Structure formats: C-alpha cells, structure tokens
Structure 1
Amino acid sequence: MRILVLGAGAIGGHFGGLLAHAGADVTFLVRPKRQKILKNGITLRTPEQTYTVPIKTILKDQLDGHYDLIIIACKAYDLPNAMDAVRPAVGPDTYILPLLNGLKQLDILDEEFGPGKIIGGFVLNISTMLPDGSIESKSPKGGKLIFGPRFKSQQDICHTLENLFNKAAFVTNRSDNIQAPMWDKFVRITLLGAVNCLLRGTVGDVMATRDGQWITLSLMKECLDVAEAAGYPLGEDSINSIATNMTREGSDYNSSMFRDLEHGYQIEGDHLLGDMLRRAEDLKCEAPLLAIAYCHLQTYMARRERERRPEELG
C-alpha cells in the first residue's frame, strides 16, 4: 500500500514517521525547506524511545501517480491548499484519512473528492515540532489514532488499515461508529478553545475568578446540546470527565488554539467555534455564549489581518 502523508509536522510527522518505522511504504509531501531538514530522516522523541527514521519526501510538482491512502495532517485553515497539493495523487481507488480537529473537514473533502473516499478519523496526541525539526510527543505509547468507516463501502479498506496501523508504535482504535467519538472530541476541543480564548487564560486561571465556573459550564451545555440535537449525545462518563477537566482549580489545561492566539498566530476559530455555532443555528439550539466567544476570535482575526506586516503579505 502506497501512503502519502501531507504534512511532516507534529501530527503527520509523528504518525507517518512511526508508520514508516514499522515498514509501511510512506512518502511525505512537503515544502522545499522541510525537505532539506528531513534529508537525513525524521527524528521522533517519545516518552519510551527516540527514533531517527529514514523517510521518503516529495515536493508538490514531483508527485508520481496515484496513492492508495492519503493522510492529511495540517491545520484546518490550510485545508484548501492541502487539497490542491494532493489532487494529482488521488485516483479512482484512493482513500483519504484527514487527521484534523473538528468535523467541517469531512464536509469540505466530501464535496471535493466524493464522500466515499473520505474515512473518519482523529488523533489523541500531545506533540510539538522542535526548533531542530524533530518531533516530541509527550503522550504514552505513541499517542492514539482513532479511525473508522463512514460508509459500509469503507469496511474493507478500514480492516486493511487496522492491520497496517497495528504494526506501528502507536495505539490504534477502529470505530465502526466513528462519528460518535469525533463529536466527542469536537465538543471537548471547541469548549476548551472557547473558554481559554474568550477568558484569556488556562482552566486554572478561569477557575480562580468569581464567574469562571458558571460561564464554563454554560458553554459546555451549549456544546452538549448541539451534539445531542445532531444525533450524537455524549455519554454520562464523557460528560463527567469534561466537567472535571474544565473546572479543576490550579489546572494549566489549555488548547493549542489559545497558545496560537497568545503568540499572534493564525487560529482554527472558524473551523471549530464557527462550525459549532453554525450547527447550533441549523439545529435551533441556543448558544449565546458560543456566539460571543466566536465573535471574540473573529475580532482577533480581523485585527491580525489589518496589522499584518508587509513581509507576511508576501
């Protein structure tokens, strides 16, 4: 099976690198600068081991035919460029596994390539690309990749992928109802991003305020209501774990979107909060606090665009 991984950063580099280490036929679609960094292999640092894995890299204009599986691991705002980059590699028998946050990517990719090609999936992994180009994961056992068929026609390919992924040094979970765990993560990351970014602090910072807890729990209810209205209610254990994590005093729990916002970077606000709010409106769910949080992020993005330096525009 020929696998093309778009993105050799914290997610694509980590999981793609571990697949390559396990003997899978993996090629990374990268930019020229990243290709130079990876000429001697990709270094993966996990709690258990450090790997330096020889890998194949390719530039967009060097794509050599169709691939059996394309793994897309980029930020949501880069998805349009990612689709343009991988299009020459998509053939009649190609499947695409996007490892992005949220749900909106499924709708976008369905429209572009056809829903039968797009497998559901996401990862649970805390990883960072370090200044030297290596990737450090703080998650035990290599993190977790959850995936599964969205249609009966994808059962066979998902069985094949399960066997392949099980050979790699990360945890693989196949779900035949993949939309349910995807909704669970969608609620979690949207809620965390909304609380962190709107109130501009970690969970512990927010819990140190007079009104932080009720604002957090109110935002949580709004997100849970949307999931239930969409047909994917979260279970009691999941709800309890979210409430516990989101109200723990002294916690440094925070989202990558909050960290990006604090550094002045581009954020996935539209893909997460904006999409949750649109679904709330479509499903007639009240979500006033979510609307305020999303407006906060829209204002940040508008100001960021206005203040962009000339070199960024080039």
Structure 2
Amino acid sequence: MRLLVVGAGSTGGYFGGRLAQTGADVTFLVRPARAVQLREKGLRLKSPHGDAVLHPKIVTAGDINGPYEAVLLAVKGFQLESAIEELGRAIGKETMIIPVLNGMQHMDVLAKRFSSGNLIGCALKVATTLEDDGSIVQLSPLQDLAYGELDGTMTPRIAAFDKFMHQASIGARLSRVIRREMWEKWILLASLGAITCLMRGPIGEIEACAGGQEFILALLDEIVGIVKITGEAPSESFLEKTREQLTTKGSPLASSMFRDLQRGRPIEVENIIGDLVRRGAEVGFATPLLSAAYVSLCIYQRRVSEA
C-alpha cells in the first residue's frame, strides 16, 4: 500500500513521519515552501515516544502522476478547498481518503468533490504543534488514531489499511463505531476550544473561578444538545469522562485552538464552532454561550486575516 499524506504539519507530519520511520511507503504532499524546509532540515519530530529527524519522500501538486491506495488528509479546515484542488490526480475510484480534520462539514465537501465511496471515517486524539522552525512537537504521550468504514462493516480495504497503520506504534486502531466517535471528538474539541478561548485560560484556571464549573458544564450541555438533535448521540461513558476532563481542579488542559490563538495564528473557528452554531440555529436550539465564543473568535480571526 502506498500512502499519500497531505500536509506535513503537526498531525500529518507526526503520524506520516512515524510510519515512514518504519520503512512504510509514505509520501508527503506539501507546498513549495515546506518542501524546501524539509529538504534542507528534514522532518524533525520531538516526542515523549522518541525524537527523530527524517528525510521522507515529498512531492508538490505538479509531481503527482497517478492515484494512491490511501490518502491521509491532514490539513486545517480553512485549507481544505485548496488541498482538494492539489490532490485531484492522487484520487482514483478505489482510493481511500482518510480525513484527519475537525468537525463534520469536511465529509460532505469531500463526498461532493470525489465520492462517498472514497471516504473512511477518522477520529484523532493527539496534542502536537508545529514550531516556527518547522519542527513538530508532541506535547503529551497520548496518541489515539481511530478509523473505520462509515457503516461499521469490515471490508478488505479497511483491513489492509489497518495492517498498514500498525507498522508503527502510533495508537492506530480500527473502530466499528467511527461515525459516533467522530461526533464525540467534535463535542470535546468544540467544548474545550470554546471554553478555553472565550475565557483565555486553561481548564484549571477557569474551574477555580467562582461560577467557572457551572459555565463549563452549561457550555458543554449546549453542544451536546445540538449533536443529539442533528448528529449521532454520544455514549454516556464519553459524557461522564468529558465532564470530568473539563472540570478537573488544577488541570493545564487547553485546546490547540487556544494555543494557536496565543501565537496569533489562524484558527478553525468555522469548522469547530461556527458549524455547530449554525446547526443549532437551523433546529431552533438556543446556544447563548457557544454563540458568544463564536462571535469572540470571529473577531480574532478577522484581525489575524487582515494583519
């Protein structure tokens, strides 16, 4: 199996790099500036699981001459449209597209551009960041990469992909309930992102304030309410664990969106927050706290784009 990783940023670079480290057939599709950086300095990983400097196979859009068996799409939501234009020749009728994106909107976009038959569900939990010098830093040992057919069936292609992914120790696992896991991941990301970005601090600092825990749980309830109406309801075990994560005393937990905000970088406000607000509005579900976070982050995003 040949895997094309679209993007050598914090997630694509890390997981693709770990697979390439084992000798797996991995190629990175990158922009020209990132290609120059990778050729000069290599793909540098800093991680609790071991540091590495790799010199992987890389291509730019014009170099693609045919379809791959699998494509790991690891870009930000606001980069999706341009990525789709660049990877067209890499997608054949049998190509599996595994999107490592946040939210659910991208699934509709990809199905419309290619085919729903190309899509594999994916839900990733990892804390990585791309430093200004191009190195990728894994911030904690957690790495959980779940994937599966959207209807939960076991097919020869997903079995082959699962075997390919297990060449590296990256927390890869096959899920029979990947659609539900994708919605659950969105709940966690949106909750953590809205809470920490609106309050401008990590969970422990917010929880320690008078009314902090009540605010956290109320915002979580808004998001869960939207998902129960418009998506796939989360499991009770997930909700119990999420409530505990978001209210742990002294927790340094913060979202990647908050880390990007602190660095003055663009954020996925529309994909993670805005899409949920719109889904709630369409069914008449009130989201005063989530809407406040959305407006605040839209102001930030506008300022960043105009800078």
Q: TM-score range by the shorter chain?
A: over 0.9
Cα drift, residue 182 of structure 1: 0.8
**CA contact 2:44–2:52 (8 Å) conserved in 1:** yes
Could you list the per-position Cα deviations for residues 249-303 of structure 1 after superposition, in whole angstroms to 9, with x for gaps in the alignment? 3222111111222232211111011111122223443322211211211222234
Cα drift, residue 131 of structure 1: 4.4
How far apart in 2 are the matches of 1:112 and 1:286? 32
How far apart in 1 are the matches of 2:270 and 2:152? 31
The answer on 1:107 being equivalent to 2:102 is no
Alignment map for 1:99-248 (pairs within 5 Å): 99-140=100-141, 143-151=143-151, 155-230=155-230, 232-248=232-248
How far apart in 2 are the matches of 1:231 and 1:62? 39
**CA contact 1:46–1:137 (8 Å) conserved in 2:** yes
Gaps of 5+ in 1: 309-314
**CA contact 2:129–2:136 (8 Å) conserved in 1:** yes
The alpha-carbon distance between structure 1 residues 128 and 264, as it changes in their structure 2 partners (threshold 3 A), is: closer
How far apart in 1 are the matches of 2:279 and 2:131? 36
Amino acid at match of 2:169: A
Q: Secondary structure at the match of 1:169?
A: coil
**CA contact 1:280–1:286 (8 Å) conserved in 2:** yes
TM-score scaled by length of structure 1: 0.90
Cα drift, residue 132 of structure 1: 4.2
**CA contact 2:183–2:231 (8 Å) conserved in 1:** no
Q: Secondary structure at the match of 1:163?
A: helix
How far apart in 2 are the matches of 1:254 and 1:138? 11
Q: Secondary structure at the match of 1:44?
A: strand
How far apart in 2 are the matches of 1:231 and 1:58? 37
Correspondence for 1:278: 278
Amino acid at match of 2:137: E
Could you list the per-position Cα deviations for residues 76-105 of structure 1 after superposition, in whole angstroms to 9, with x for gaps in the alignment? 111111111111211222121110112111
Correspondence for 1:290: 290
Q: Secondary structure at the match of 1:195?
A: helix
How far apart in 2 are the matches of 1:301 and 1:67? 35
Could you list the per-position Cα deviations for residues 48-102 of structure 1 after superposition, in whole angstroms to 9, with x for gaps in the alignment? 3223333111111111211111111111111111111111211222121110112
- Provide the aligned C-alpha RMSD in A: 2.0
Q: Secondary structure at the match of 1:10?
A: coil
How far apart in 1 are the matches of 2:287 and 2:95? 39
**CA contact 1:41–1:52 (8 Å) conserved in 2:** yes
Correspondence for 2:261: 261
Cα drift, residue 152 of structure 1: 6.8
The alpha-carbon distance between structure 1 residues 248 and 20, as it changes in their structure 2 partners (threshold 3 A), is: same
**CA contact 1:22–1:169 (8 Å) conserved in 2:** no
Amino acid at match of 1:78: Q
Amino acid at match of 1:209: C
Correspondence for 1:34: 34
Of stretches 293-302 and 75-84 in structure 1, the one that deviates more from structure 2 is 293-302
Q: Secondary structure at the match of 2:155?
A: helix
Could you list the per-position Cα deviations for residues 129-188 of structure 1 after superposition, in whole angstroms to 9, with x for gaps in the alignment? 3444332224437x2211111147882211111111111121111112211111111000
Of stretches 233-242 and 95-104 in structure 1, the one that deviates more from structure 2 is 233-242
Correspondence for 1:56: 57
**CA contact 1:274–1:294 (8 Å) conserved in 2:** yes
Percent sequence identity is 35
Could you list the per-position Cα deviations for residues 180-234 of structure 1 after superposition, in whole angstroms to 9, with x for gaps in the alignment? 1111110001011111122222212222322222221111111111222235222
Q: Secondary structure at the match of 1:244?
A: helix
**CA contact 1:96–1:119 (8 Å) conserved in 2:** yes
TM-score scaled by length of structure 2: 0.92
How far apart in 2 are the matches of 1:303 and 1:54? 36
How far apart in 1 are the matches of 2:263 and 2:42? 29
How far apart in 2 are the matches of 1:24 and 1:18? 9
Cα drift, residue 38 of structure 1: 2.0
The alpha-carbon distance between structure 1 residues 174 and 84, as it changes in their structure 2 partners (threshold 3 A), is: same
Amino acid at match of 1:30: V
How far apart in 2 are the matches of 1:303 and 1:16? 33
Of stretches 23-32 and 39-48 in structure 1, the one that deviates more from structure 2 is 39-48
The alpha-carbon distance between structure 1 residues 156 and 170, as it changes in their structure 2 partners (threshold 3 A), is: same
Correspondence for 1:24: 24
The alpha-carbon distance between structure 1 residues 170 and 106, as it changes in their structure 2 partners (threshold 3 A), is: same
How far apart in 1 are the matches of 2:215 and 2:294? 15
